[in-house]
Structure 1
């Protein structure tokens, strides 16, 4: 059945992923508005924000738009799923006429509700006042619809996944995910595999853990140390690495014990065994959320760019009246010869 492409409803909040040839927009039933007083979030420094989760505010479903990056037009199929909220996306890639994308999904708004000031003031020591359980979910979007497909049939033809995409009346496609793991957030991967078929996610576990999730086997490894809070793990590939998990994880760690120094933890990304730790003395280290690793060659390029910018500024100064720039010995000698001739 031929369908007319629909443009996304830009009034509804959405998240965005990229595959090699397509842009994936997932619209969520969540909105953020300005609030005043006690009922506000801890996150904001200049304004207070209130987050609303309401499936009746927009639609009781998540609408998924697939946009062709070359034509910049959405595909005509109507893809949707049950409602959920995503704060962090993992990866997306294309294989055999399908888009595969992984997200960390929440069924409701409790992730944000945990950080309202009123809830933080009444927080139980075990965190039972408000709890949330995230899921690492995989969705598969079939790019080509068989014209002979019957209503109720599964359009996903990949044997490596348990995801379904059910054809409904009027050409709608209902996407049913596969749960790869639970209880993780702040996902990172080896970004050499960004937009490609991959195997491993590194993330924070909700019980103050570092998690390695194998998305193919659903096996989990974990690192945990009593009285510590780890940040988001940052994967750094080994030089000339031969496999996806050949590298280390860098994790900023703070302790609940007042006399214990914070430290940078280095884990073997393959086994999650500790390789080293570097304590931070003489400075306070606060718990962070996101991190980045800059390789030495990146730092060298940044330094060279600064030097080039400085040199260019000096050249500009030579053309400004009243400013003295650097003069080479050859220029000074030529200037002296001109004075002798005069």
Structure 2
């Protein structure tokens, strides 16, 4: 049982859990969780706090790397559709380049988050599907969305149908290879319904009439950005070497065993990073032993809540007063461990910093 939401404004939502039951196709290697009802999925994306605001130099750099990869000539003066715009951070950058941007995003917070930029960005506040838009675009961008969609094939076909002749599609997803190799259980949660390796990704796009032309490595293989164009490539029906996911359960059990023996006081312990990874890690704490606070640099999160089976935590911005009251900090947003550790050091934090990186055998002390 895992949390339905990562960050919530309403404390009444902190008792909402749903099952994760992973299955893997023996033929193609596709890993999936279809335990959720369509009504539950719709509620999640209406009420989940938007999570993709860039709050570090690395995150801002990732946007610039993406723009460089796509090439400004594909964007300047072009009609661009972004499916799943989150906080609108990328849409702003595209509009700054002179693109005519349409964003399809069901989260009710997006129009307010765009603020004074709303006039130059067209927002369709709805779920994307075959009937959402009746036009084609020079470019279709869909980042970190496909893995969340229950009926994924019609969704990706709709992405392909929205690409004009001569246009491009850019689809970004987590990689099953990283999850399998690292045993990255933090990447397995209610909101991810599908996990794709390279063969499954090619097959999914080919079914939508899209041919892969390039790829962008993101966070050392954690994610991949796929550039495609309209086409009908030949792809393999079977996956000769699907990624095995046995390590995921092993690593989760190792971290859970560490936390069962951890004797830090809950009110003097915090998790840094109210990301999907940090909140999924938080769910390993037993009842009564969970830290009472999260630390996060996202200004949208202040005063909101994260929760797990062990309790509920209030999210706070990093401050000297907060850090002075902490003996232990677990880096839940493990991809940003180096940056977070440096911030804590610069702030003079004297407590223990713990790494939750699943690529390590167990939770280890950073300093």
* Coarse TM-score class (shorter-chain normalised): under 0.3
Q: If each structure's helix is expressed as a fraction of its own residues, which one has the higher value?
A: 2
Please report the TM-score for the alignment, with normalisation by the length of structure 2: 0.22
- Bigger-Rg structure (1/2): 1
Q: If each structure's strand is expressed as a fraction of its own residues, which one has the higher value?
A: 1
